[in-house]
Structure 1
Amino acid sequence: MSDRAPLRLGTRASALATTQSGQVAARITELTGVEVQLVTVSTEGDRNQAPLTQIGGTGVFVAALREAVLEGRVDLAVHSLKDLPTTPDPALTLAAVTSREDPRDVLVARDGLTLGELPPGSRVGTGSPRRAAQLNALGLGVEIVPVRGNVDTRIGKVTSGELDGVVLARAGLLRLGREDEATEVLDPIQVLPAPGQGALACECRADDAETATILAVLDDPDTRAAVTAERSLLSALEAGCSAPVGALADVVWGDDGDELWLRAVVGDPSGSPTIRLSASGPLSEPAAVGERLAAEMLAEGASELMADTPSGTSIGPTS
């Protein structure tokens, strides 16, 4: 172990958040020998179960954590990257983006059913307009029901019979060791994930060079490039994390070596219309790839679709 003082890692108190943060803490200690202590921080998104667009939308799960870092109550915070606002805070630095877990969404449904096997009229829960738009676009005749809460709460609505299924992020189930509860992994061709889904962000104060250096060992360059492209698209669309926008960038082999392939969707929560486009570009220029694809989507009318999103629909925490 290092002889320096332990790092204080700020985390939300949910089972998923503490599991994610605990995995990051263990990895820091493994690679650097520095001890890490978890410090739980209550956020507005945890305390208030109202739709997120009513309580602030973007950032409600990270604002309190960032405040704790800036005030020196903790040395770093771990966020689900999809919850992190795209507008940077100059007083903070994104010191590491960890290797991405599976970014895809999954269905947890009664009787082991898949989406295609659910009969018309089945009630499928999600608090995400992104998911609602893409599920409705499939034309399966299921009813999308707004739902919030942690993984246990959401899956419990299926086991109790209140819902026929819920859609969650596979990354959360994998980190909790509950991936076997998913009845279907949704192909991104059908449902694109949220920008940054499956990746974790490690933030510290911009003037804390020592902590930033320690965290840098966790940074995964390919993951950082992929999520930079996705988040640049989100920023250029001027869309918050509760907008009906899905995006996924993959590192693929191109004519001149590795490049980024970015797919994105903007949809009306009703399922129609939907704009779905893709672009590719150099791995070394991820932000430019995202900005270029966003410009193409805006030219197709993406702003109007996002403006029509009902105010009562919003995302929940990574799950």
Structure 2
Amino acid sequence: MTQSFRVGTRGSALATTQTGWAADQLAQLSGLEVDTVLVKTEGDVVTGSLANLGGTGVFAAALRQHLLDGGCDLAVHSLKDLPTVQPEGLVLAAIPPREDVRDALCGRDGMTLDQLPEGAKIGTGSPRRAAQLRAYRQDLVIVDIRGNVPTRLGRVKGVGDTHDDGSVGRATQGDLDAVILAAAGMRRLGLEQHITEYLDPSIMLPAPGQGALALETRTAGTGHAELDQALARFDDLHTRLQVEAERALLNQLEAGCAAPIGALASVQDGELVLDAVACNPDGSEVMRRSAKAPLADVAAAQALGRGLANGMLADGAAVVAGLA
């Protein structure tokens, strides 16, 4: 009889889709079968603004507790949802190759950001996105929204009610001119046809870890030698170094995932290049900085992130971003 491993996930369409993809890859690598365990998190239950929910870790805590309690062998997270400090007893065993890191505009009538009319209403639940939008165009009206990807898409005029399979039914609220979503989630759900513009990082730097998945296990391992070996093979070094630099910067700034901080690391010509932005929530002030270091190991990537953060703090980033 073939052995199986248990993978824990949130129940949203995006969470189950990306967990299913990761689990299928691990099943092929390990030769084991998969059992999926759905876990309801505080972020799925509580209503209201993400910023007011405390932001960081609100989608991960229950899933992590289930993993610690032995309810599953492995948990799959969107890395940008995880706090930057790793809890005792758990380890990020694999970070697979990253999806598209950019933020995506889904506008009515095929419009791009520059084509939206003056005073256009754009929906986002992210202070980081809102601040960078305001910095780029002060005339825009930013509307705080929550909900899964199809629900958010349904807020755009003319898009209508978008189902998990990508099909569109009758119009729902249609009260917004556009919404901003992570391109990675849109692509994983097969909804990229609704993207009217991929926002260049020069306009909007993504959240640290955006587009990356984190496969978390207990520090002692999964209890399946084949799965532990498969996780080691599934880990992508360049992606891990990029996100380690981004998350070290966020941690050093003492900012959570609800803070108006963006960061993006990339590998260029044998170097790790890290770009970061700290924004005043109203978009009135933006601090962008960049640093680079030779491509090496996790410790060097983290040092790059901390070093850039310290430079930004010395220049007043905490005041700019309302973290002071």
Give the drift of 1:266.
0.5
Give the drift of 1:26.
0.7
Q: Aligned equivalents of 1:4 and 1:301: distance in 2?
A: 57
Matched, 1:137 2:135: yes
Q: Which residue number corresponds to residue 198 of structure 2?
A: 185
The structure 1 residue matched to 2:4, chosen from 3, 6, 10, is: 6
Q: CA RMSD in A?
A: 1.4
Structure-to-structure mapping, 1:57-72, within 5 angstroms = 57-72=55-70
Q: Aligned equivalents of 2:146 and 2:236: distance in 1?
A: 31
- Structure 2: any 5+ residue segments left out of the alignment? 160-172
Q: Which residue number corresponds to residue 292 of structure 1?
A: 307
Q: Which residue number corresponds to residue 274 of structure 1?
A: 286
Matched, 1:104 2:102: yes
Structure-to-structure mapping, 1:142-153, within 5 angstroms = 142-153=140-151
Structure-to-structure mapping, 1:15-30, within 5 angstroms = 15-30=13-28
Give the drift of 1:140.
5.2
Give the drift of 1:4.
5.4
SS in 2 for 1:141: coil
Native 8 Å contact 1:8 1:39 kept in 2: yes
Native 8 Å contact 2:107 2:196 kept in 1: yes
Paired amino acid for 2:301: P
Q: 1:249 to 1:50 in 2, by over 3 A?
A: same
Q: How many residues align?
A: 303
Farther off after superposition, 289-298 or 131-140: 131-140
Native 8 Å contact 2:51 2:126 kept in 1: no
Q: Which residue number corresponds to residue 242 of structure 1?
A: 258
Q: Which residue number corresponds to residue 115 of structure 1?
A: 113
Matched, 1:221 2:221: no
Native 8 Å contact 2:94 2:215 kept in 1: yes
SS in 1 for 2:238: helix
Matched, 1:305 2:320: yes
Cα deviation per residue 1:192-247 (whole Å; 9 max; x = unaligned)? 00000000000010012634333212100000000000000000101011110000
Paired amino acid for 1:45: G
Farther off after superposition, 227-236 or 210-219: 210-219
Matched, 1:170 2:183: yes
The structure 2 residue matched to 1:198, chosen from 211, 221, 229, is: 211
Q: Aligned equivalents of 1:153 and 1:292: distance in 2?
A: 40
Native 8 Å contact 1:78 1:203 kept in 2: yes
Q: 1:71 to 1:4 in 2, by over 3 A?
A: farther
Give the drift of 1:75.
0.5
Q: Aligned equivalents of 2:228 and 2:134: distance in 1?
A: 43
Paired amino acid for 1:237: L
Structure-to-structure mapping, 1:39-118, within 5 angstroms = 39-118=37-116
Cα deviation per residue 1:229-279 (whole Å; 9 max; x = unaligned)? 0000000101011110000000000xxxx1111000010121111110100
Q: Which residue number corresponds to residue 315 of structure 1?
A: none
Paired amino acid for 1:109: G
Give the drift of 1:161.
2.4
TM-score by length of 1: 0.92
Native 8 Å contact 2:280 2:322 kept in 1: no
Native 8 Å contact 1:239 1:306 kept in 2: no
TM-score by length of 2: 0.91
Native 8 Å contact 1:69 1:75 kept in 2: yes
Cα deviation per residue 1:96-135 (whole Å; 9 max; x = unaligned)? 0010000000000100000000011100000111001111
The structure 2 residue matched to 1:283, chosen from 288, 295, 299, is: 295
Q: Aligned equivalents of 2:208 and 2:228: distance in 1?
A: 24
Q: Aligned equivalents of 2:138 and 2:316: distance in 1?
A: 25
Q: Aligned equivalents of 2:290 and 2:308: distance in 1?
A: 7
Give the drift of 1:32.
1.9
Give the drift of 1:299.
1.1
Give the drift of 1:29.
1.3
Q: Which residue number corresponds to residue 166 of structure 2?
A: none
Q: Aligned equivalents of 1:301 and 1:213: distance in 2?
A: 45
Q: Aligned equivalents of 1:306 and 1:138: distance in 2?
A: 16
Native 8 Å contact 2:123 2:176 kept in 1: yes
